[in-house]
């Protein structure tokens, strides 16, 4: 197994302020836990620095006027009067000095991951700082300035004429990526997330199937609030391999947001760390079958910075690289970070299932989720195969 994690400490400068929930400390915690657990020590595994995205790579996916506006607003003393027009200067996505430069580096990190995979340097790559799935062509949104995912997919399409399967299991719907490729039959976007009836961005319903030639290539399963591991994993296992086989991609891009965990403060789902381990098992086994194992993975959401994100993304990296890490978190990692942590750090990599309180309406929730999955299956697979059915 050859795999890379794209990382440099400078990417933590993608920060909106000390009180903002999108806290880059989670990246440092994750990479240090991966290293401390010895999960980068095997032959073939490597850490690779990112590079900035170029102007050409940014405008391949974003309107040039938007990119120029981000550049202007990134300067010290910038006039913020135009910020709202571009989705910036909001409570969710405030302006910060150097915004263009550091976001270009995050975009470049995911592009570098895609390059390494498609050029055969590695089989899989993890852009841990990436996953900015809410950015649109002409505006920023939901903590996301530029779309690293969109830039990587567009590069894969142009450079390699690749068919790309994009799978997003962040708690929030990947609306930006879906919108960017809504009419492209060579990019299949598949998102499992908390229903937009109760959570930002208010999209991602089963009926959103794409338009024009892309009809049937945008797929969504909205989960009910308080969905637990069993329902979520069952849906992934029943749908993902079937969708992948029908679409027959050349490469997969996976957005691994971990804000569906029960401890996350911004969402209402009830996953444990088991979800991330099992999802990566399903994804990697399917990738081995349909696209030669090629996977570009990114981070994403995750707002319990100390207790959840490092453990979830360590399990993502372990799954990508075929490693079965021990459950005990190294004492050296705990000693390093405990003095700084505002909460008691877990001593185990995997959650104790009994520590997550069960939900009273479990049967109802599972029934609603399964209905959504069945509705999607009934229309999606025929559409992907060109049989012409659908809503």
Contact 125/251 with Cβ under 8 angstroms?
A: no
Per-residue CA distances from 245 to 18, 48, 106, 166, 284 (Å): 44, 31, 31, 14, 13
**Residue 390: pLDDT over 80:** no
**Residue 309: pLDDT over 80:** yes
Percentage with pLDDT > 90 across the chain: 93
Q: How far apart are CA 252 and CA 163, in angstroms?
A: 9
**Residue 391: pLDDT over 60:** no
**Residue 287: pLDDT over 80:** yes
Cα 78 to its chain centre, rounded Å, is 31
Q: How far apart are CA 153 and CA 176, in angstroms?
A: 12
DSSP one-letter code for 284: H
Per-residue CA distances from 269 to 170, 279, 308, 354, 365 (Å): 11, 16, 13, 16, 11
pLDDT, one tens digit per residue, over 96-147 is 999 999 999 999 999 999 999 999 999 999 999 999 999 999 999 999 999 9
pLDDT, one tens digit per residue, over 55-69 is 999 999 999 999 999
Among candidate residues 237, 303, 327, 304, the one with its CA nearest the CA of residue 275: 237
pLDDT, one tens digit per residue, over 190-229 is 999 999 999 999 999 999 999 999 999 999 999 999 999 9
Q: Which residues of 281-298 are buried (b: 16+ CB within 10 A; e: fewer)?
A: ebbbebbeebbebbbbbb
Q: What is the pTM of this model?
A: 0.97
Mean per-residue pLDDT, 81-109: 97
> What is the per-residue pLDDT for 7?
98
What domains does the chain contain, in order, with CATH numbers?
A: 3-384 (3.40.800.20)
The band of 150, judged by pLDDT with boundaries at 50, 70 and 90, is: very high
pLDDT, one tens digit per residue, over 153-163 is 999 999 999 99
Percentage with pLDDT > 70 across the chain: 99
């Amino acid at each position: 197994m050859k795999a890379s994690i794209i990382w440099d400490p400078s990417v933590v400068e993608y920060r909106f302020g000390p009180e903002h929930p999108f806290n880059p400390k989670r990246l440092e915690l994750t990479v240090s836990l991966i290293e401390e657990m010895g999960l980068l020590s095997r032959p073939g595994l490597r850490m690779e620095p990112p590079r900035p995205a170029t102007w050409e790579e940014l405008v391949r996916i974003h309107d040039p006027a938007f990119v120029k506006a981000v550049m202007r607003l990134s300067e010290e003393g910038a006039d913020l009067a135009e910020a709202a027009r571009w989705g910036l200067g909001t409570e969710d996505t405030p302006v910060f000095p150097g915004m263009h430069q550091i976001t270009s580096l995050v975009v470049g990190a995911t592009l570098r991951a895609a390059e390494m995979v498609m050029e055969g340097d590695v089989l899989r790559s993890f852009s841990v700082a990436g996953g900015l799935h809410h950015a649109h062509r002409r505006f920023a949104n939901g903590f996301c300035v530029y779309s690293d995912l969109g830039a990587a997919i567009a590069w894969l399409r142009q450079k390699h004429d690749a068919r790309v399967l994009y799978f997003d299991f962040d708690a929030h719907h990947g609306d930006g990526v879906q919108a960017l490729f809504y009419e492209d039959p060579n990019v299949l976007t598949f998102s499992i997330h908390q229903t937009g009836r109760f959570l930002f961005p208010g999209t991602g319903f089963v009926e959103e199937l794409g338009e024009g030639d892309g009809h049937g290539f945008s797929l969504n399963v909205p989960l009910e609030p308080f969905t637990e591991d069993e329902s979520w994993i069952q849906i992934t296992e029943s749908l993902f391999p079937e969708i992948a086989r029908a679409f027959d991609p050349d490469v997969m891009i996976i957005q691994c947001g971990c804000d569906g965990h029960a401890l996350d403060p911004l969402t209402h789902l009830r996953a444990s760390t088991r979800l991330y381990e099992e999802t990566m098992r399903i994804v990697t086994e399917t990738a081995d079958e349909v696209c030669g194992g090629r996977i570009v993975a990114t981070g994403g959401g995750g707002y319990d910075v100390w207790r959840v994100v490092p453990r979830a993304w360590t399990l993502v990296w372990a799954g990508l690289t075929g490693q079965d890490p021990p459950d005990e978190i190294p004492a050296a990692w705990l000693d390093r970070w405990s003095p700084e942590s505002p909460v008691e750090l877990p001593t185990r990599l995997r959650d104790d299932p009994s520590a997550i309180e069960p939900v009273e309406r479990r049967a109802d929730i599972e029934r609603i989720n399964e209905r959504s999955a069945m509705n999607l299956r009934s229309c999606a697979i025929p559409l992907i195969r060109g049989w012409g059915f659908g809503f």
